[in-house]
Chain A
Amino acid sequence: MCGLVGWFGGGGRDAESVALATRMTRAIAHRGPDESGVFVDAGVGLGHARLSIVGLGDGGQPMALPEAELMLVFNGEIFNHVELRRDLEARGRRFRTGSDTEVILHLYDELGEACLERMNGDFAFALWDGRRRRVMLARDRMGVRPLYYTTQGGRLWFASEVKALLEAPGVEAAVDPIALDQIFTLWAPIAPRTPFRDIFELAPGEAAIADETGMRRWTWWSLDFPDAGDVDRERSEATMAAELRALLTEATRIRMRADVPVGAYLSGGLDSSIVSALAVDMTPEKLNTFSVAFDSAEHDESPFQQAMAEAIGTRHETILCRSGDIARVFPDVIAATERPILRTAPAPLFLLSGLVRERGMKVVLTGEGADEVFAGYDLFREAKVRRFCARQPGSTARPLLFRRLYPWLPGVQQQSADYLAAFFGTAPESLADPLHSHRPRLKGTAATKMFFSADLKAEIGGYDAAGEMIGFLPERFGRWHPLHQAQYLETRFLLPGYILSSQGDRVAMAHAVEGRFPFLDHRVVEFAAKLPPGVKLKGLEEKHILRAATRDLLPDMIAKRPKQPYRAPDSASFFGAGETAAVAAALGESALATSGLFNAKAVGRLVEKCRATSDGGFRDNAAFVGILSTQLWADRFTARRAVADRAA
């Protein structure tokens, strides 16, 4: 786990290029504080900040395969490197190091671009092929590790984080208004777009080749589902559960591979408990587990965390996220995420990775991905109830099921059946919408755009973010079961754009901590995609097959626990103890005028409304956090904004 930087199409073997590569690498030194290195040659530069996990003594980068004129910088892990190395050695390959980095070099030398399909891992890399004078960039299947790029001054620049690109001559940070529209509708930009104008990212499962003719991008892996009618009726549920258990065990086992201790996050929910329970048996000493607790009962899950830690016997540590802590670290969180966010949930995970690092650990397993892969989110149940209501539009009984989905939301609990049906959109014609499952969320989120300034609205014009999302859907999407369509939307867009990025890689790597995700092993993902929808969401029981596959691992208190989504206090975090000078400045009239992105008068009223109501609704909270994070982001990264630049 590390950070990489580089360029293609300029520079040479000179001190200036070395200094530039070094400067870019230093900008992301937090990702890899253990060692660093650079390589420059005519037309290419590479830099690497290393977090040493595998091959501690001999895994330094950039790493060469001199006989093939290859040079590699690599961020992440190839979990099946042991098996790949064995196969390569059997074919006569000789290795100089014990690292997984060298495995990529040999695989590429043998297979070229097809090397990607052999790798089971979370990775982003840049590989210089000196014979063909080209650079290959690649990103893992699910989008765990980031890779950004831009072109400027005749060169292609690339890096693990945008901060490094901003060190390149002529590369400037400016707001992309369309990306802001996407974030305030979809929660994240649609790759390759980023919030920075003209700075892009490789999408999950994408690779690119840059040579003297230009840059060619292609998708080397994508999530697929069977046609709706193509249901597996052969295997029993028990057989599927057994197969899943074997796969999960193997996915966890290869994620324990490291030359440093591996710990685990324990949220108190089903998914991280399963991962921790599997990992306990694979840890030579006691497994270290880490949790966030909250001083607000509504968000705190510490009794479940403690119970699970005791049940499986881990060395458990908790960091308490107190009122005021989220506001205190929020500017640093946004510096890490490099994009506006609509919820504060990444902030406690930023604090947690800090604790892990303080304890001298570099690697943690987490339960991330299970909700996407096995249909755990409430949204999947909500979409099912909405379909159920749409089949009988006049029913006054069916909409009452929505109350069962959101027991913690007074706005839902206290509504009549008519209102519930109206809010959740249960009209029969809504079923034809490809975004049917996500439409209420998208509509609710998009309402936050009312705070955009007149200038920003004018720049965005009639752009339709949800419509663009539809344009990214594969042709086969229409043939899938509705649950699989919903899973695709969640896994393809929100998972890499928010969960694995702002709430994953970025807040963990801010403290040089690597997260590993057994549920996102591609074999688990592909297996789950082929399962009948009814074994994932059985009635309204989410993750049914996962529960069946792991029942013996968990105490009843965890196994039978209704799902509680991971949430942190949103706007309430920024009042009382959370009224910091930085937050006040970011939302002040002067800062709002400087960014020019929001209607200052409306924002002032929103702030007062949020201050007066201890816990407002989703819309007000999302608007508040979105505006604050955008302001902090603009202040941190963009000296002037695009609209103002062009108006000048």
Chain B
Amino acid sequence: MSETVQSIVKDFIIENFRFGDTSFEIGGAESLIENDVIDSTGVLELVAFLEERFDITLVDADIVPANLDTLDRIAAFVERKMHGDRAAA
């Protein structure tokens, strides 16, 4: 599952922040900010994408680098959210 989330998010990043540059590579543990992949507007675009694509809701406390600054963290966060949302339902 995490593999799938990660590849979906990576595709979004390539499309939206790298404008289709399929040669773009970033490791799962590398920072999106420090590698200049994403800026402050970009985080909001990422949040909107995650909410829509995975049918989850991010509250303000969720929008922190600890959850969203690497592909690994995003995948783990989205899984937690989806699992949590289902558990709560």
- List residues of chain A with CB under 8 Å of any chain B CB: 409-412, 414-416, 418-420, 422-423, 443-444, 446-447, 450-451, 599, 601-603, 605-606, 609, 616-620
**Contact residues in B for A619 (Cβ distance below 8 Å):** 39, 41-42
**Known A-B contacts A416-B64, A616-B41; A423 and B33 likewise in contact (beta carbons under 8 Å):** yes
Q: A420-B40, A609-B19 are in contact. List 20 more A-B contacts (CB 8 A).
A: A411-B39, A411-B40, A411-B42, A415-B40, A415-B43, A416-B60, A419-B40, A419-B63, A422-B69, A447-B36, A451-B19, A599-B19, A602-B21, A605-B19, A609-B16, A617-B39, A618-B41, A619-B41, A619-B42, A620-B41
16 A-B interface contacts by CB (under 8 A): A411-B39, A416-B63, A418-B65, A419-B40, A419-B65, A422-B69, A423-B39, A443-B36, A602-B18, A605-B15, A605-B19, A606-B19, A609-B19, A617-B40, A617-B41, A618-B39
Query: Closest 3 A-B residue pairs measured CB to CB?
Result: A617-B41, A411-B40, A411-B41
From A424, which residue of chain B is reached at the shortest CB distance? Answer: B40
Determine the distance from Cα of A605 to Cα of B13 in the docked complex, in whole angstroms.
Answer: 13
Determine the distance from Cα of A617 to Cα of B48 in the docked complex, in whole angstroms.
Answer: 15
**Contact residues in B for A606 (Cβ distance below 8 Å):** 19
Q: How far is the CB of A298 from the nearest CB of chain B, in Å?
A: 15
B42-88: which have CB < 8 Å to A? 42-44, 60-61, 63-66, 69
From B60, which residue of chain A is reached at the shortest CB distance? Answer: A416
What's the A-B contact tally at a CB cutoff of 8 Å? Answer: 71
Whether the pair B64, A418 counts as a contact (CB closer than 8 A) is yes
Determine the distance from Cα of A415 to Cα of B62 in the docked complex, in whole angstroms.
Answer: 10
**Contact residues in B for A443 (Cβ distance below 8 Å):** 36
- List residues of chain B with CB under 8 Å of any chain A CB: 15-16, 18-21, 33, 36, 39-44, 60-61, 63-66, 69
From A412, which residue of chain B is reached at the shortest CB distance? Answer: B40
Determine the distance from Cα of A619 to Cα of B15 in the docked complex, in whole angstroms.
Answer: 15
**Contact residues in B for A605 (Cβ distance below 8 Å):** 15, 19-20
**Contact residues in B for A609 (Cβ distance below 8 Å):** 16, 19
**Contact residues in B for A603 (Cβ distance below 8 Å):** 19
Q: How far is the CB of B53 from the nearest CB of chain A, in Å?
A: 17
Q: How far is the CB of B70 from the nearest CB of chain A, in Å?
A: 12
From A418, which residue of chain B is reached at the shortest CB distance? Answer: B64
Q: Which of A416, A446, A602, A616 has the most CB of B within 10 A?
A: A416
**Known A-B contacts A418-B64, A422-B65, A422-B69; A446 and B36 likewise in contact (beta carbons under 8 Å):** yes
Q: How far is the CB of B26 from the nearest CB of chain A, in Å?
A: 13
From B31, which residue of chain A is reached at the shortest CB distance? Answer: A422
**Contact residues in B for A418 (Cβ distance below 8 Å):** 64-66
**Contact residues in B for A410 (Cβ distance below 8 Å):** 41, 44
**Known A-B contacts A602-B20, A609-B16, A618-B39; A414 and B44 likewise in contact (beta carbons under 8 Å):** yes
Q: How far is the CB of A625 from the nearest CB of chain B, in Å?
A: 16
Which among B18, B21, B36, B43 is the interface contact of A419 at CB below 8 angstroms? B43
**Contact residues in A for B66 (Cβ distance below 8 Å):** 418
**Contact residues in A for B60 (Cβ distance below 8 Å):** 414, 416
Which among B15, B33, B43 is the interface contact of A411 at CB below 8 angstroms? B43
Whether the pair B40, A423 counts as a contact (CB closer than 8 A) is yes
**Contact residues in A for B36 (Cβ distance below 8 Å):** 443-444, 446-447
Determine the distance from Cα of A605 to Cα of B39 in the docked complex, in whole angstroms.
Answer: 18
Determine the distance from Cα of A423 to Cα of B68 in the docked complex, in whole angstroms.
Answer: 13
From A449, which residue of chain B is reached at the shortest CB distance? Answer: B36
Determine the distance from Cα of A599 to Cα of B18 in the docked complex, in whole angstroms.
Answer: 11
From A406, which residue of chain B is reached at the shortest CB distance? Answer: B40
**Contact residues in B for A616 (Cβ distance below 8 Å):** 41
Q: How far is the CB of A575 from the nearest CB of chain B, in Å?
A: 17
**Contact residues in A for B42 (Cβ distance below 8 Å):** 411, 617, 619
Determine the distance from Cα of A618 to Cα of B40 in the docked complex, in whole angstroms.
Answer: 9
